[in-house]
Amino acid sequence: MFHTPIVPFARKRSRPVEAAVPRHDVVKFKDVRLYLVERKMGCSRRNFLTQLARSKGFIVDDNLSDEVTHVVSEDSRASSLWKWLKECAPKNLPGVNVLDISWFTDSMREGRPVAVETKHLIQIPLPTEGSPLTPVATVSRYACQRRTTLENHNKKFTDAFEVLAESYEFNNMERPCLAFRRATSVLKSLPCAVRCLGATQDLPCLGQHTKKVIEEVLQCGRSFEVEELLSDERYQTFKLFTSVFGVGPKTAEKWFCRGLRSFSDILTDHSIHLNRMQQSGFLHHGDISRAVSAAEARSLRSVIDGAVHCVTPAATVALTGGFHRGKEFGHDVDFIVTTPELGEEESLLPNVIDELKKQGILLYCNYQASTFDMRKLPNHHFEAMDNFAKCFLILRLESSQVEGGLHCAEGDIRGWRAVRVDLVSPPVDRYAFALLGWTGSRQFERDLRRFAQVERGMILDNHALYDKKKKEFLAASTEKDIFAHLGLEYMEPWQRNA
């Protein structure tokens, strides 16, 4: 139930603590076995804390054995503690939490072992080449327990991984695709660059294949497998076709198999029927395939704010997606709109769409009415698409409305560009779940759901959080409420760039 990063060290010579004290405390938490490090703490404080914990139903071992699950130390200087642990613990002990005293005091206050959060962990610094310490995994296997900012120190590896992940996706190979996405996400979360293969030794989610790529990039500055892919006709064609709004890997595959290789191949083939979304995708391809800047996103926010408040003054608009995570560029701009009155959100999007049409800036609209039904929850097979009312739009954005002008091709004198915008409108009591789900990143969301399921026995999606043991839905009006229900340390949107 608790997240247990894998940390090595182990068995220790014993130093019994107050063996004379009679033990008649009732054990309440059988799965948790503490060991308090005497160093820095001192013998008498250790005795006091030991008895305090035992009186609250905790098991506290006098000796460091491989049954210990939580090592607590008052000395939170990672390097000296780890040096000491290494000395007195020659064997590896997987599945032990090495924690500072704050975890202990939190647990005593709550009267139960609180969930281990990253702030409690005494993490060993990432080893550098020639480091005397063995590299150690203190990085969580779950993206939702790693703070991932936009500062990526391992871009040369993650760029390579992303090409491989994409290529597996194009070939419908879900597992290796996900493996490379997970590995990408782990490397993005690291506080510094990986400089030797040894530094990855105990990182989670890195398999043989990913390590081979890392090794190549370290040695040669590039991966041959990736270079080959980048010049591969299938990869290039899929990349081109899927860059069109409305074209996914399945359509790209169909076209590729028919021998089509370029846009003109498609547009001149009269046996091909393009749906409305794809037609708009081709029509506005130049604009839409160009990244949207943060300044453009801000300007669109005023446009959407204006349209929403014009039709429903009490409605709220929130920026979500990549720009809410602080990205400088994105492929679209995502907003959540809702009304304080439950049920009023139903007419919101159709009215907003009408308003945008009236303003003459609606270039494309795909509106999907809500199919949300609380009675159909919990949904065991959630994958990204939710049932809220939403619309996928292409809007015309005027250069004059954007601070510093448009992010446009050089020589473009139109004075406007087309931009992809998504609006979603959940009922207000589902707002926090929708916001959490749409803020992303995709990998962060995947791991939140996986963490909820595997570690907490709960089902999370964009609609709700369901506790399988209690057989009940857990209410939340903010994202913080949801993190708290999951026993997770809160992460700000800008820390969710997994």
CB atoms within 10 A of CB 301: 16
List the alpha helices (DSSP H) in 362-441.
431-439
CB atoms within 10 A of CB 177: 18
Q: How far is the CB of 221 from ligand UTP (least distance, A)?
A: 28
Q: Footprint of ligand UTP on residues 371-430 (CB under 6 A)?
A: 384-386
Which residue has tokens 């391992």? 154
Site size for ligand UTP (CB under 6 A): 17
Among Mn ion, ligand UTP, none, residue 107 binds (CB under 5-8 Å by kind): none
Residue closer to ligand UTP, measured from CB, 141 or 324:
324
3-state secondary structure 217-269: HHHHCCCHHHHHHHCCHHHHHHHHHHCCCCCCHHHHHHHHHCCCCCHHHHHCC
Residue closer to Mn ion, measured from CB, 47 or 243:
243
Answer yes or no: 467 catalytic: no
Among ligand UTP, Mn ion, none, residue 8 binds (CB under 5-8 Å by kind): none
Q: How far is the CB of 142 from Mn ion (least distance, A)?
A: 23
Question: What is the residue-wise DSSP string for 272-340?
Answer: PPP-HHHHHHHHTHHHHTSPEEHHHHHHHHHHHHHHHHHH-TT-EEEEEHHHHTT-SEESSEEEEEE-S
Residue 422 in marked binding region: yes
Select from 202, 140, 174, 178 the least CA-distant residue to 451: 140
Decide: is 296 part of the binding site for Mn ion (CB under 5 A): no
DSSP 192: S
Answer yes or no: 332 catalytic: yes
Long-range Cβ contacts of 470-477 (<8 Å, 24+ apart): 473/377, 473/378, 475/429, 476/432, 476/433, 477/429, 477/431, 477/432
Among ligand UTP, Mn ion, none, residue 385 binds (CB under 5-8 Å by kind): ligand UTP
Decide: is 445 part of the binding site for Mn ion (CB under 5 A): no
Residue 115 has which token pair? 């969930």
Answer yes or no: 373 catalytic: no
Select from 285, 301, 299, 304 the least CA-distant residue to 399: 299
- Rounded to whole angstroms, how far apart are CA atoms 129 and 141? 24
Q: How far is the CB of 443 from ligand UTP (least distance, A)?
A: 9
Helix (H) or strand (E) holding 357: helix 348-358
Residue closer to Mn ion, measured from CB, 10 or 393:
393
Q: Footprint of ligand UTP on residues 430-469 (CB under 6 A)?
A: 437-438, 440-442, 445, 462
Q: How far is the CB of 384 from Mn ion (least distance, A)?
A: 12
Decide: is 355 part of the binding site for ligand UTP (CB under 6 A): no
Q: How far is the CB of 402 from Mn ion (least distance, A)?
A: 18
| Piece of the chain touching Mn ion by CB under 5 A; list 178-186, 329-337, 356-364, 383-391 | 329-337
Cα 121 from chain centre? 20
Decide: is 1 part of the binding site for ligand UTP (CB under 6 A): no
In terms of phi and psi (left: phi > 0; alpha: psi -120 to 50; beta: otherwise), the region of 444 is alpha
Among Mn ion, ligand UTP, none, residue 442 binds (CB under 5-8 Å by kind): ligand UTP
Contact mark string toward ligand UTP, 150..179, x via CB under 6 A: ------------------------------
Out of 74, 166, 202, 332, name the contact with Mn ion by CB under 5 A: 332
Q: Contact positions toward ligand UTP, by CB under 6 A?
A: 321-322, 327, 330-332, 334, 384-386, 437-438, 440-442, 445, 462
Which residues define the annotated binding site for Mg(2+)?
332, 334, 422
Catalytic residues: 332, 334, 422
